[in-house]
Chain A
Amino acid sequence: MSVGLHSVQEPEPEMVLEVEDLYTEIYLRRRVVHAVDGVSLSIRAGETLGIVGESGCGKSMTAMSIMQLLPPGGHITGGSVRLGGVDLLSLPESEMRKRRGSDIGMIFQDPLTSLNPTMTIGAQIAEAVHLHRDVSRAKAMDRAVEVLDMVGIAQARKRIEDYPHQFSGGMRQRVVIAIALACEPRLLIADEPTTALDVTIQAQILDLIERLRRELGMAVMLVTHDLGVIAGHADRVSVVYAGRVVENAGTDDLFARPQHRYTQALFNAMPERAGDSGESLLNIPGLPPDLSLPQTGCRFAARCQFAQSDCRASYPPLEEVAGSRSPGHRFACFHPVGKTAPIELVRTRFAERNNVEPVTLLQVEHLEKDFPITHGVLQRKIGAVSAVADVSFGVSRGRTFGLVGESGCGKTTTGRLLCGLDLPTNGVVRVEGADVARWKGKEGRRRRRSVQFMFQDSYASLDPRMRIGSILREPLEIQGIGNRRSQEKTVRELLGSVGLPYGARERYAHELSGGQRQRVGLARALALEPSLIVADEPVSALDVSVQAQILNLMRELQNTRDVTYVLISHDLGVVRYLSDTIGVMYLGKLVEIGPADDVYLHPAHPYTHGLIEAIPGVDPSRERQAVPVLGELPSAANPPSGCRFRTRCPFAQEICALEEPVLEPTGTAGHRVACHFPLKTGGPSPIRYRRT
């Protein structure tokens, strides 16, 4: 993957981008945010530099500073940005404009909003050509077709007439890439290019960027919060924290021997790293510092377990690792991983689950949910979206069931059916033997307390006009539990158990951080002491360090309160970390179900295999196969016949279109798969290659 890492004394490729000591400030109404605080980095031709850090650390601002496209109030206050030796910061705006789009191309996070909805995509690509090359309209269009073809859009000649809304999210990101590449830039800046996309599509896009980099010999700057993305696709990495580069190294070197304590902490917070060890994630306490306040010393000291007085006194210089195998590994830490005497990191081991014969708490039988599609003035029903189609599973008390799938697979609908927010078209959901759909009227509302829901968007699920105390007391009031005094007491206990101070009860949701709000969401779900909590993407909106805090909390509370979870997520890593059993959904169908580790390590369904393979690995040395999940999700209004996955399956045969596969046992006990050609299990997994 990495160009020229092991090659013999070839001349080094030319340096494309050199950023030195860059400072960017953003003037807000009352304060100044020091978004970029002395960043230096460089990228050679044909090389990919990963910039990684949590939200608000200044990584996007660095990218926007290079482009000189800062938000209102943003100013570059120091340093230099050289592109091919030319200092961009000294150029007048008219000259800089000529370089944007021709020398530097950029792709953005959200492909759904990055394209002009009222222009054809052909016109949008051709515009980039027109602006920088003196060509005719027809020539510019020809070039548009050429790049569209290059980014893998079929029938490019026909599709240039289409508008962005006629493309899916992944396809739109390809169009954005086509715009960025239309003039063959020397540098491509990709700012979180796949964050808004599904995991299988994410893999397709990242592979595309890598292929284009090789073909065009570009320098690529890959900005992301996801270490996994970096692992598979960057040659070198700069870790950014609070507006500064804290560590800089070759990818393999960084993953093998992280030096800075922040880098180490980031790795430890990844659920993929915890694997099946039964250990808690090592989370990073607290939040990044407020960049509008003056900083002395190491920015990370306040959250660092290893910080000492020298860390708080002065900022550590960026120094080379002594005797490093790869040169250029630099970090800014007084007490790095390598140097300090190893301190025993306290990983809490979670209590072993009691292996008493489990009692079934939740039983889902042949669950189906159709949403009607209506048409015309009379709202005539012309069809139905089959959101959930014949899903059955059971969950034992005190265990966690993880439901995985991409957006549109019906996992959220399933979650809503479980707690009676929607009523099923067919099938039954039983909790402790009782049919959830029959929980109506006064008695039904009383029974509802046994199943609670944890929403994905903690901000939207908390009433903006209520204090946290009232929000937590509300379920108790509704159910008429206790008097005001005992309710206050419960609120205090709840806040304590989710790690929030009692003072938080006076706060409003908008005053809390995302992680704190999600804690409140969890506390509210716990208030009624339910036997089952359905958690819909509880951590997907959070940074990795905060995500680890919430996941650990959920796990801890499960052990102390004997609560059962149904965890819904698109992230297999998260699901595997918490779940005993995993169910994989595709287009309304449960395609595979089994013990968590078994499903994760020995997937039997090609789709599960694809999902796992598409997760950008935490281990950069792992060789990745070609993307196994092809194309895009078909419409649930008109699902493919037979096996619904067959249109994207590399192994599909005739029978897959004719006959719908049913869940059948495979491998270990409890592992079942719905596939005509399940992958072989047992022995070393056929999909886990290691580079020699």
Chain B
Amino acid sequence: MPDSMGPNPGPVPGDAPVIAGAAVDEPTGGPVDGEARSMFRLGLEVFVQNRLAVVGAGVIVFFLLFCFVGPLIYHTDQVHTNLMLSNGAPGGAHPFGTDASGYDELGRLMYGGQASLEVGLAAAVLASVVGTLYGAIAGYLGGWVDSVMMRLVDGGFAIPPLFLLLVLSAIFHPNRWEMIVIIAALSWLGAARLVRGEALSLRVREYVQAVRVMGGSSMRAVLKHVAPNAIGTVVVFASFAVADAILLLAFLGYLGLGLQPPQTDWGGMLSDAINYINSGYWWLLYPPGIAIILVAISFNFLGDALRDAFEVRLRGR
């Protein structure tokens, strides 16, 4: 900030401007420094201080590179089965071994990861967008419309998602895009409930009411004040939703209702591994399982840290 502590335009009698020592009227006032620190900067600071979150972000970047750039460097055939190579132990040309169809396990991990990450991210984004709009509309309109809309969400919440997922995929035998829609159809409910609650609480905040006093329209209040302040909630939700979506996809793959071969995802790979659990082919089981856990845990770390970061605004009090 170039001149944030610019020349003093003449104080009122008896009151020295003390911007720099701001917030020392609280017993544990903030440090004195001459730089204006935005919410974003403060949030970023908290985020970076959270080492787990930084590790999580690192792991996510690693897996994105691994799955999408990896195959460009490490070429494998993931289309044609080769039963000659069936269930080979790790070593030599196949550092992670091969699976029952003779696919290279390391290559397959990249290939399956593409599906898991794509579906996970896309489903989370879709769910967040739909849920946010739905929740915002319910919260904004209020009254009986809100009641009806939210009872629908309650109903959706009451049905165990895995049951619904199974029924839906049994009905549709989904491809990758339908899979995204189905998973999003299950997880938008959370976003709807969160955003609606946030909208209700923001609507009565004094700074939103202040807009009315100034003669501003409701539209302005929503766009300028409610939405920017609710965005944090949505981002945090989306982060957790990615983890959930990846897990849901894995369940489907595991239950044999996921992508059809030769396509696969990490859950599907685990499903294949079970057939050989008695044979001691551990290299089929651990890599996809650990990959799922690492990615899911990273997104959970991220969500946790983002939540802390967005709550920074409360620290100013």
Query: What is the interface of chain A, defined by CB distance below 8 A to chain B?
Result: 26, 28, 30-31, 33, 35, 54-56, 60-61, 282-290, 292-293, 346, 348, 419-421, 444-449, 451-453, 455, 457, 459-465, 467, 474-475, 478-479, 492, 495-496, 498-504, 506-516, 524, 528, 543, 546, 549, 552-553, 556
Compute the total of residue contacts between A and B using a CB distance below 8 Å: 187
Q: Would A449 and B207 count as touching, CB distance under 8 A?
A: no
The reply to whether the CB of B173 lies closer than 8 angstroms to some CB of chain A is no
| Given A285-B16, A501-B9, A449:B317 Cβ within 8 A | no
- Asked whether any CB of chain A lies closer than 8 Å to the CB of B209, the reply is yes
Which residues of chain A have C-beta atoms less than 8 A from B16's C-beta?
285-286
Per-position 1/0 for B21-38, Cβ under 8 A of A: 111111111111000111
Question: Which of B1, B37, B215 is A478 in contact with, Cβ under 8 Å?
Answer: B215
Excluding A289-B24, A507-B36, 13 further A-B contacts by CB distance (< 8 Å) are A33-B27, A35-B27, A55-B26, A56-B24, A56-B29, A290-B29, A448-B213, A461-B206, A464-B229, A501-B6, A504-B19, A506-B1, A549-B12
Report the minimal beta-carbon distance from A126 to chain B, rounded to whole angstroms.
34
Assuming the contacts A348-B13, A446-B215, asked whether A463 and B207 have C-beta atoms less than 8 A apart, the reply is yes
Report the separation of the CA atoms of residues A447 and B213 in the bound assembly, to the nearest whole angstrom: 10
Contacting pair A510 B316 (CB below 8 A):
yes
CB pair B17 A30 closer than 8 Å:
no
Question: Could you tell me if B14 and A503 are in contact, using CB atoms closer than 8 angstroms?
Answer: no
Nearest CB in chain A: distance from B271 CB, A: 46
Do B4 and A507 touch across chains, with their CB atoms under 8 A apart? yes
What are 18 A-B pairs with beta-carbon distances under 8 A?
Answer: A55-B27, A282-B14, A292-B31, A421-B213, A452-B214, A457-B206, A460-B207, A465-B228, A475-B214, A478-B214, A501-B7, A501-B8, A502-B6, A510-B315, A512-B23, A514-B25, A546-B25, A552-B14
CA distance A502 to B36 in the complex (A): 13
Q: How far is the CA of A357 from the CA of B310 in the complex (A)?
A: 55
A491 to chain B, nearest CB (A): 12
Least CB distance, A301 to chain B, in whole angstroms:
13
Question: B interface, how many residues as a size bin?
Answer: 35 or more
Which B residues are within 8 Å of any A CB, using their own CB? 1, 3-19, 21-32, 36-39, 205-207, 209-217, 220, 224-225, 228-229, 313, 315-317
Contacts of B224 in A (CB 8 A): 463, 474
> Is A499 a contact of B229 with CB atoms below 8 Å?
no
- Indicate which residue in A288, A478, A502 contacts B220 across the interface (CB closer than 8 Å): A478
Q: What is the CB-to-nearest-CB distance from B132 to chain A, in angstroms, rounded to a whole number?
A: 17
Residues of the A chain whose Cβ atoms lie less than 8 Å from the Cβ of B10: 496
Residues of B close to A285: CB separation below 8 A? 14-16
Whether B24 contacts A290 by the Cβ 8 Å rule is yes
Asked if B6 contacts A503 (CB within 8 A), the reply is yes
User: Smallest distance from the beta carbon of A249 to chain B beta carbons, Å?
Assistant: 26
Closest-CB distance, B39 to chain A (whole angstroms): 6
Q: Shortest distance in angstroms between A506's beta carbon and chain B's nearest beta carbon?
A: 4
Q: Is B213's CB under 8 angstroms from A419's CB?
A: yes
Report chain A residues within 8 Å CB of B27.
Answer: 33, 35, 55-56, 60-61
- Whether A516 and B215, one on each chain, are in contact in the complex, defined by CB atoms closer than 8 angstroms, is no
The docked-state distance in angstroms from the alpha carbon of A293 to that of B29 is 11
Q: How far, in Å, is A437 (CB) from chain B's closest CB? A: 13
Structural contact, A478 and B8, CB atoms closer than 8 A: no
The 4 A-B pairs with the shortest beta carbon distances in the complex, nearest first, are A510-B316, A445-B215, A499-B12, A461-B206
- Closest Cβ of chain A: how far from B207's Cβ, in Å? 4
B24 and A421: CB pair below 8 A?
no
Q: Is the beta-carbon distance between A503 and B19 smaller than 8 angstroms?
A: yes
Q: Which B residue sits closest to A448, measured CB to CB?
A: B215
Contacts of A528 in B (CB 8 A): 214
Indicate if the CB atoms of A453 and B213 lie closer than 8 Å: yes
Given known pairs A56-B27, A510-B315, the reply for A500 and B17 (CB within 8 Å) is: yes
CA distance A460 to B25 in the complex (A): 17
Q: Which listed residue, B19, B211, B212, touches A501 by the CB 8 Å rule?
A: B19
Residues of chain B contacted by A465 (CB below 8 angstroms): 39, 228-229, 313
Q: How far does the alpha carbon of A348 sit from the alpha carbon of B14 in the complex, in Å?
A: 11
Minimum distance in angstroms from B1 CB to a CB of chain A:
5
Q: Which residues of B contact A56 (CB under 8 A)?
A: 24-27, 29
